[in-house]
Amino acid sequence: MAIEPDTKDWTWVRERPCPECGFDAAAFERSDVGAMIRTNVRDWERLLADPRARVRADADRWSALEYGCHVRDVFRIYDERLALMLSADDP
C-alpha cells in the first residue's frame, strides 16, 4: 500500500489533543516552546543517526528521514511566519 496524501485540516489541534501523537497545544506555556524545540532536535539527531533511518518499516509509513524532512520543513515555515509577525503589521 502506498502512502496517501494527507488532506486533513490540522487547525483543530489548537482546540483539542491529537489522538495520534498526544500533542496538546493548550497544555504547555509558550515560554516552554524553545526548550521543547531543542529537545526535539536532540531526538531527531538520535533517530537520524540510525543506519535504518532511510528505510520505511511499512509501505504506508514514512521513514525516519522522511519524517525528519517534514519536521524540518514545518519549522522553516513557522520561522518565516514568526519573522512576519515580528516585522509586519497584519502579516
Q: What is the rounded distance in angstroms from the CA atom of residue 9 to the CA atom of residue 21?
A: 16
Tell me the three cell numbers of residue 20.
495520534
Whether residue 17 contacts residue 23, with contact meaning beta carbons closer than 8 Å, is answered with yes
- What is residue 1's predicted lDDT score, i.e. its pLDDT? 67
Res. 25 pLDDT band, cuts 50 70 90: confident
- What is residue 91's predicted lDDT score, i.e. its pLDDT? 77
- What is residue 15's predicted lDDT score, i.e. its pLDDT? 87
The answer to whether the pTM exceeds 0.85 is no
| Mean model confidence pLDDT for the chain | 89
Residue type present at position 64 = A
Round the CA-based radius of gyration of the chain to a whole number and report it. Answer: 16
pLDDT at 28 over 80: no
